[in-house]
Amino acid sequence: MALAFYWYPKCGTCQKAKKWLDAHDIDYTSIHIVDEPPSKEQLLNYMSKSDLPPKKFFNTSGKKYRELNLKDKLKDMNTDEMAELLATDGMLIKRPIVTDGEKVTIGFKEETFTENWL
């Protein structure tokens, strides 16, 4: 099965991840994370499969994150509320998200990609 690769083409980290996937001949489907953000249900599924705390799904260095003052608001939100908020705006989501339906990685670290996708 091809991986789902949620990315933002102008994002440097996403470009590195795409280059890595291409260099290793890994089959994937590109999904523009802003044009087609994952749904709340998909995000909840990814959160449960990633073994990461839900707040790790937020793009903490993004302008939108700062504008909404999410640093302070997240501690009072439950997982359901976080997924709902993330589903409203792809720019809030840390990227890229890569999944095969069972495993999920967020961001790009070569060792993590090697471990999960080779």
Q: Which domains does the chain carry?
A: 3-117 (3.40.30.10)
Whole-model pTM? 0.93
pLDDT single digits (tens) 95-105: 999 999 999 99
pLDDT single digits (tens) 57-88: 999 999 999 999 999 999 999 999 999 999 99
CA atoms within 13 A on the CB side of 7: 22
First-residue to last-residue Cα distance in the chain:
13
Residue 55: exposure state from Cβ atoms within 10 A (0-12, 13-18, ≥19)? middle
20, 46 Cβ separation under 8 angstroms: no
Strand partners, 6: 31, 97
User: What percentage of the chain reaches a pLDDT higher than 70?
Assistant: 99
